[in-house]
A = this chain, B = another copy of it.
Amino acid sequence: MDTIELPPAADFHAHLREGDMTRIVAPTIKKGGVSLVYVMPNLVPPITTVPQALSYHSGLTDLEPSVTFLMTLYLCPAITPAVIEHAASTKKIIGVKSYPKGLTTNSEAGVVSYEEYYPVFAAMEKHDLVLNLHGESPSSETTTILNAEETFLPTLLDLHARFPKLRIVLEHCTTAAAVEAVRKCGDTVGATITAHHLFLTIDQWADNPHFFCKPVAKLPSDRAALVEAATSGDAKFFLGTDSAPHPREMKIGAKNGRTAAGVFTQPYAVQLVAEAFDKVGKLDMLKGFVCDSGRRFYKVREKGLEREFGAEMGILLRRGGDEVAVGQIGEKDKIVVPFNAGKGVWSLKWRGESSEDH
């Protein structure tokens, strides 16, 4: 297959940031073949109230009216069962994201103990909101960034056992162990897989700040397990790019000498996934992973979370013919460098849209 027609894709884990950065990143959503994004809440300050989430939603929709934005709240003590009930009634907020404290970008307000949130989880179960887990344990004498995800898996299994009807997504899973744990759970547990984790292992990011993200890419055997899960047709696994733009100077030569965690894939989301699927001869599984499974898990159609699009609307992918923008998107101190800049990639065109939608 040298060309593929797909419906519009959905990205169930994206970082769209604020202000100037949002104005740079939002227009790249559709370039990546995506018409629906689930937007992460780790802003400064984090999105912890319904009005904040709705205001963020409205700003994003103003910028990109042809994209459907769905929102999460940042799990913290401000999130109560009453907030959950209110959030669920909006039909725009569809989940709550849990960050373990201190583990990634803007996670300082994150969770220390899950137990205190059991009433919130019960309310989420009742009102059918999704729990999004950043599944890493904090580092210690026995836990490092390498086994942080595997060390977290018992928490996933425990929460699933306590709240079997609560839909839970293990976000950006990176290990064979995580894939196995998610498969072991019931239908209410799914996992997002990013585009970049279908490509990277530790050897690639060790000396390349643009490939450094949390959770870090692991071993070749882990990458193989992710590719297998993504291309398997198992609807538990679907695309969440975790596209995480940072200004170039935060990736390279950051003032404090630390590299910001995050890989920017938004403008090439589906193109990159197509390349990964193509490598293993599984392009026939692409639609399930990037279009269908995530929408099904989140009950997008059932709940009317997205406007209907006709069968003629969607994207056309063509092998080769495009190249990831070399070096940069944006201007001045907001320059962001996309994943695999300068490399060839599948080209993508929208079809069935009037030109002013582009």
Contacts and interface: CB of A to CB of B under 8 A. Distances in A.
Contacts of A142: 220-221
A261 B202 contact: no
B259 A208 contact: yes
Which of A139, A209, A221, A260 has most B Cβ within 10 Å?
A209
Contacts of A259: 206-209
A241 interface: no
A203 B258 contact: no
A255 B208 CA distance: 11
A235 interface: no
A220 B139 CA distance: 10
Given A144-B220, A146-B146, A253-B252, A207 B212 contact: yes
Interface in A190-229: 201-203, 206-210, 212, 216, 219-221
A45 interface: no
A227 to B, nearest CB: 13
Contacts of A257: 208-210, 252
A212 B203 contact: no
Contacts of A212: 206-207
Contacts of A202: 144-146
A141 interface: yes
A238 B26 CA distance: 55
A104 to B, nearest CB: 11
Contacts of A208: 257-259
Interface of A: 139, 141-142, 144-146, 201-203, 206-210, 212, 216, 219-221, 252-253, 257-261
